Amino acid sequence: MNWFSPARFAAVLIKEFIQMRRDRVTFAMMIGLPIVQLLLFGFAINSDPRQLPTLVELNDDGPVVRAILAGMATSDYFDFIGVVQGPAAGEAALRQGTASFVVVIPAQFERDVVRGQHPDILIAADSSDPTAVAGAAAALGGIVAGAASQTLTGPLQPLAGTTAPFGVVVHRQFNPEGKTSTNIVPGLLAIILSMTMVMITAVAIVKERERGTMEMLIATPVQPLEVMAGKILPYVLVGYVQTAVFLVAAFVLFSVPFEGSFLAFLIGFNLFILGNLALGFLISTLARSQMQAMQLSFFTILPSILLSGFMFPFAGMPGWAQALGTGVPATHFIRLVRMVMLKGADSADVAGQFGALATITTVFALLAMLRYRQTLD
């Protein structure tokens, strides 16, 4: 007869497990969702596209030029769609979006290369979608240099051996990010967990109220913490299953590395799950119907996607948006996961994220407990 009875907690826990098992559709969603999301986001969202339409403005021709163009074509980033005459035509094509790149080979390029005068190739890139061309542009230097070294043989060998025989000037400063999926996939884990965890628990209390079972439940001597813990724990385990499925898929399908400490990941991950479940529980105490609970969940999921740094760089957001984003658990978890998986961070490196997640979780849980009514008032 105190504030927490393990027996009553166990009763709620067992009941929730049975109900979860009986609700096949929801259960299938919980397991299927990570896979579907991973495939959709992992494959569909690609900020490193290949086969970008490319035009060439040929003011000279020769073995070096041909080798460079062939090297670019085989890199798969560039799809040569034609030749333009004069700078105006190339500019127009970029403006109209028919080409993403225009490669300009200057006049007397071959001669200047042979003379060691270090001519420049100009590559104009469509900067309206910087992420789209970033990968291709980043790859350019290597491609061109490789192509040149293959051509400059025999009497021209000394040219290849020295510093680059020609320069490549890209008309746009890029920030090469490498493969997008490596960046997207760890962040996606945060989004998937937010969606399922918040939504499932958001309906937890409302469902009891809508079905009329709440009246029976609170007519028993059950305490708020027993209900909350008993309802949340089964979904913590669901979160584990989701994450396991996710990590395997991320590794097998996208070869996402896992460089850092698994312990750090595990701690952050548990804090994040608990935070989301507490948030879901809070929504559940606020909503009057399951429909409302769903809508409120979506309302909280949007900031997780938009303000967390998942979709847009966090540093690029204005101050107020960063402040909002700081209150979103996904923000901290996405940082943590990226740091751990991609940059090899350990627990000490992500202590700040632990603290932030623990704080948010505690606040949500306290609010939820305060909101939970032991009466029908």
Partner 1 sequence: MTQTSGHAPAIDVRGLTKRFGDKLVVDNFDIAVPRGAIYGFLGPNGSGKTTTIRMLCGLLLPDAGQGTCLGFDVRREARQIKTQVGYMTQKFSLYEDLSIRENLDFVARMYGVPQRRSRVESALTELGLADRAGQLAGTLSGGWKQRLALAACLIHDPQLLLLDEPTAGVDPKARRDFWDEIRRLSRQGVTILVSTHYMDEAVQCDFIAYIAYGKKLIDGPAADIPRMVGLTTWRAEGTELAALELALAGQPGVAQIARFGASLHVSGRDAAALQATVRQFEARGTQRWSLQPAGLEEAFIYLMAGAQDNFAQGPS
Using DSSP bridges, classify how beta strands 120-125 and 52-58 pair: parallel, antiparallel or unpaired: unpaired
The verdict on 44 binding partner 1 (CB under 8 A) reads: no
- With contacts defined by CB under 8 A, name the span among 79-87, 205-213, 258-266, 336-344 that binds partner 1: 205-213
* 7 binding partner 1? (CB under 8 A): yes
In angstroms, the CA 171 to CA 105 distance is: 14
153 near partner 1, rule: CB under 8 A = no
Sequence-ordered list of residues with C-beta below 8 angstroms from that of 360, at least 6 positions apart, any chain: 275, 327, 329, 332
Helix, strand or coil, per DSSP, at residue 103: strand
Min separation Cβ 285 and partner 1, Å: 16
Stretch that binds partner 1, among 14-22, 134-142, 329-337, 344-352 (CB under 8 A): 14-22
Which residue among 51, 213, 289, 295 contacts partner 1 (CB under 8 A)? 213
Closer residue to partner 1 in complex, CB, 18/366: 18
Query: CA-to-CA distance for 253 and 207, rounded, in angstroms?
Result: 37
Of 6-14, 133-141, 166-174, 238-246, which segment contacts partner 1 by CB under 8 A? 6-14
> Residue 26 interacts with partner 1 (CB under 8 A)?
no
By CB under 8 A, name the one of 25, 88, 219, 348 that touches partner 1: 219
H runs (alpha helix) in the chain: 6-22, 24-39, 63-74, 86-96, 109-114, 130-151, 157-161, 180-211, 213-219, 224-254, 262-286, 290-306, 319-326, 329-343, 351-371
Coil vs helix vs strand at 337: helix
Are 226 and 12 contacting, i.e. CB atoms less than 8 angstroms apart?
yes
Query: What angle do helix axes 130-151 and 63-74 make, rounded to 10 degrees?
Result: 140
Question: Sheet harboring 78-84: ordered strands across?
Answer: 78-84, 52-58, 101-105, 120-125, 167-170
Span interacting with partner 1, options 123-131, 213-221, 318-326, 347-355, rule CB under 8 A: 213-221
Q: Of the two residues 21 and 172, which places its CB atom closer to partner 1 in the complex?
A: 21
The count of C-alpha atoms lying within 13 angstroms of the C-alpha of 307, restricted to the half-sphere facing its C-beta, is 18
Could you give the string, one character per residue 125-144, with x where binding to partner 1 holds by CB under 8 A and - elsewhere? --------------------
CB of 14 to partner 1, least distance (A): 7
For partner 1, the closer CB: 154 or 221: 221
Minimum separation from the CB atom of position 377 to partner 1 (A): 6
Tell me the window of 74-82, 154-162, 302-310, 368-376 that interacts with partner 1 (CB under 8 A). 368-376
Angle at 356 between CA 250 and CA 6, to 5 degrees: 85
- Choose one: 2-10, 46-54, 118-126, 334-342; the region binding partner 1 (CB under 8 A): 2-10
202 is written with which tokens? 């958001």
Query: How near is the Cβ of 3 to partner 1 at its closest, in Å?
Result: 10
15 touches partner 1 by CB under 8 A: yes
Q: Is 289 in the site for partner 1 (CB under 8 A)?
A: no
Other beta carbons less than 10 A from residue 282's beta carbon? 26
Q: Which residues here bind partner 1, judged by CB under 8 A?
A: 1, 5, 7-8, 10-11, 14-15, 18-19, 22-23, 211-222, 374-377
